[in-house]
Amino acid sequence: MMNPKNLTTFVIIFLSLNVIQAQTKFEKEYRLKNTSVPAKVQAFIDSLPFQEKIKWYFEENNTGNSIEAKFKSDKIRYSVEFDTAGNIQDIEKEIHWTDMPASTQSRITAHLNTGYGYHKIQKIQIQYSGSSDDLINFINKKNTKNITIRYEIIVKTRLIRKVSLFEMTFDENGQHLNTAEIRFKNTDNLEY
Amino acid sequence: MDNILTRRKFGLKTQTTLNTRFWLLLLFFGIALIQKNAAQSGYRIGLLPAVNINKPIGRGWAVNFKYELRQFVAEGDYSASPESAFEYDLSDFIFIASKKVGLNNTIAGGYLFRLRGATVTHRTIQQFTIVRKLNAFRLAHRISTDQTFEPDNPVEYRLRYRLTTELPLNGESVDPGEWYVKISNEYLNSLQENSYDLEVRLIPLLGYEFNDNNKLEFGPDYRISSFLENSPRSVYWLSVNWFVKL
């Protein structure tokens, strides 16, 4: 029979391994000129009811390349992602913790309380994905039919004196889908 | 290289951010203002090459070694043309151990060994750094203290604060194969046997990231001191920094 102290140690090690096994998030992006944006992408953006200045980016990450439009409207940051063929992938919007339904909050909290030690949410984005027509319908009429909603959360954690940063994805109900550890860029040239 | 190839593959053009242009403009105004105050005083021009090697040793600890050389090439005052004064000045050997405390903070302590002719200077260093990643750039605050021990001179105590901004010239973060601008502004308070002085440094550098562990930076390093009571003393360095992480 395992004594409580050993059991606690086992649980901590098991949960730490679980956290460590999360894949590493890789991202590389650079600015695009407006004239380099594919016509199909530009047409979609033009159909949105936003007049703000748009910054265009080309992004490479673990799952492939994409084109991203970023803009701010009413002090809220938006990002619209397309594949390189110009098909829309998703729309992301920065939100606050209190903007999420209470039931989603409690499921996310329950997940964070299992294995991440001390944690602090740094950023939350709500992600809407679906077909081009459905997304336009959603933006114009707030109709969520055929729209998949997910939450992307950046969380700082401290477990057994190790501080980490994770990007976690949850579904609309707060069910955990994926965790990727965010790799820190070298800061030597800013420290010395 | 991947970056360039991918851009070519998709026939895409890239763009320098407006944010960068704003910071560069601000920097040029800053330099002009300081130079105006330094008129009628002496200056020196020199080269400041440095190599900085960092080695993480686990559990958030890292060791850092820096070698820096100072070579003067000219001197004069602002009312006359500079005279050639090619003169080796000194070599610094700096050893620092650092420990990451939290996500963005580092505490560090170390020792500097300076060789200037036959004179050997010793310096103990303590520093605390905070690096923040903001939406379109990185910002670093460094607070440090040091104590300098030199033969026949009283101990010099310094309190320094440096603000550094790293601005990507392409996109929202610096990636391998990309250029960036790094601007540092540092204030050094010095106390040596009841004598106080303030030195201000402005260092706008252009950097290139070969990869995350290998970066080269170069540009002017402007320093002005003795402007509180005496006539200001300016030094213009051409700084070349090579950062390597093992």
Phi and psi, residue B221, nearest 5°: -130, 100
Nearest to A188 among B16, B52, B138 (CB): B52
- Inter-chain touch A32–B103, beta carbons under 8 Å: no
Question: What is residue B1's predicted lDDT score, i.e. its pLDDT?
Answer: 39
Question: What is residue B106's predicted lDDT score, i.e. its pLDDT?
Answer: 93
Neighbours of A22 (CB within 10 A): 16
Spatial neighbors of B119 by CB under 8 A, at least 6 apart, are B150, B151
pTM above 0.80, yes or no: no
Mean pLDDT over B22-30 rounds to 61
B10 CB near a chain A CB, below 8 Å?
Answer: yes
- Inter-chain touch B138–A190, beta carbons under 8 Å: yes
Query: What is the DSSP secondary-structure string of chain B?
Result: -HHHHHHHHTT------HHHHHHHHHHHHHHHHHHHHTTTSEEEEEEEEEEEEEEEEETTEEEEEEEEEEEEEEEEETTSPPEEEEEEEEEEEEEEEEEE-SSSEEEEEEEEEEEETTEEEEEEEEEEEEEEE-SS-EEEEEEEEEEEE-TTS--EEEEEEEEEEEEESSSSS--TTEEEEEEEEEEEEEEETTEEEEEEEEEEEEEEEEETTEEEEEEEEEEEES-SSS--EEEEEEEEEEEEE-
Task: Band the pLDDT of B44: cuts 50, 70, 90.
Answer: confident
**CA A85, A88, A94, A97 torsion: positive or negative?**
negative
Task: Band the pLDDT of B37: cuts 50, 70, 90.
Answer: low
- Inter-chain touch A186–B245, beta carbons under 8 Å: yes
CATH number at residue A144: 3.10.450.360
Low-confidence ranges of chain A (pLDDT < 50): 1-2, 4, 7-22
Question: What is residue B65's predicted lDDT score, i.e. its pLDDT?
Answer: 96
Question: What is residue B16's predicted lDDT score, i.e. its pLDDT?
Answer: 47
- Say whether the ipTM exceeds 0.85: no
Task: Band the pLDDT of B38: cuts 50, 70, 90.
Answer: low
Q: Which domains does chain B have, with CATH numbers?
A: 45-245 (2.40.160)
Chain B nearest C-alpha distance from A100 (Å): 23
Residues comprising chain B, all counted: 246
Question: What is residue A3's predicted lDDT score, i.e. its pLDDT?
Answer: 52
Return the amino acid letter for A60.
Answer: E
Mean pLDDT over B136-151 rounds to 93
- Inter-chain touch B166–A35, beta carbons under 8 Å: no
Q: Which residue has the higher pLDDT, A33 or B25?
A: A33
- Per-residue pLDDT tens over the stretch B146-205: 999 998 889 999 999 999 999 998 877 888 888 999 999 999 999 999 889 899 999 999
Mean pLDDT over B40-64 rounds to 87
- Inter-chain touch A28–B106, beta carbons under 8 Å: no
- Inter-chain touch B172–A190, beta carbons under 8 Å: no
Chain B nearest C-alpha distance from A164 (Å): 7
Residues in chain B within 8 Å Cβ distance of A65: 6, 10
Domain that holds residue A49: 4-191
Q: Please name the residues between 105 and 164 in chain B that touch chain A, using a CB distance below 8 Å.
A: 106, 108, 129, 131, 133, 138, 140, 142, 164
Domain count, chain A: 1
Indicate which of A30, A125, A183 best probes the interface with B, i.e. most B CBs within 10 Å of its own CB: A30
